[in-house]
Amino acid sequence: MEVTLRTATPGDVGALAALLGELFETETDFEVDRAKQIAGLRLLIDSSKDCVMVAESAGSIVAMCSVQTFISTAEGGRVGMLEDMVVARACTGQGVGRRLLSAMEDWAAQQGLIRLQLLADRTNHGALAFYRRMGWSQTQLICLRKAPAV
């Protein structure tokens, strides 16, 4: 499969929302809400400090990944949260995810980020195995969340 990697553009939002739909169908903590996914994608793509990268094949977007940056007091510098790593079901197992994740790691290094981290659904054994093969390791941290009072 011939794949080109590039930074996402505003015109990609519809295709990216469809990929997020595939991802969120597999995750227990999130649900597909196209309007919310489009709003979030627009914010990310417009951000000057974050990155959304896509893999394109034969004119179609077949994978995406984003990194959002923030400051870590533990690290004393800028770090990144890798999110929305998804390869279209029809394209898994062809090296697309490996290329895309490596490209995002390169982007992070070029930005001077000193750590990347990610959250993964604990029941997504395929994704967890993929990240381990790519050199990622599990930490002792757990994720908690709460919506702020409105």
CA distance 87 to 85: 7
Instruction: Provide the token pair at 73.
Output: 């007091």
CA distance 62 to 97: 10
The confidence score (pLDDT) of residue 144 equals 92
Supply the pTM of this predicted model.
0.91
Q: Which amino acid is at 124?
A: N
Q: pLDDT tens for residues 75-126?
A: 999 999 999 999 999 999 999 999 999 999 999 999 999 999 999 988 889 9
Q: Which CATH number fits domain 4-133: 3.40.630.30, 3.30.360.10, 3.20.20.60, 3.90.1150.10?
A: 3.40.630.30
Q: How far is CA 82 from CA 40, 59, 90, 136, 149, in A?
A: 15, 25, 22, 12, 26
The confidence score (pLDDT) of residue 37 equals 94
CA distance 81 to 47: 14
The confidence score (pLDDT) of residue 24 equals 86
Give 35-48 as a DSSP string: HHHHHHHHHHHH-S
Q: pLDDT tens for residues 3-21?
A: 999 999 999 999 999 999 9
Q: pLDDT tens for residues 37-58?
A: 999 999 999 999 999 999 999 9
CA dihedral 81, 110, 107, 120 (to 10 degrees): -20
The confidence score (pLDDT) of residue 83 equals 94
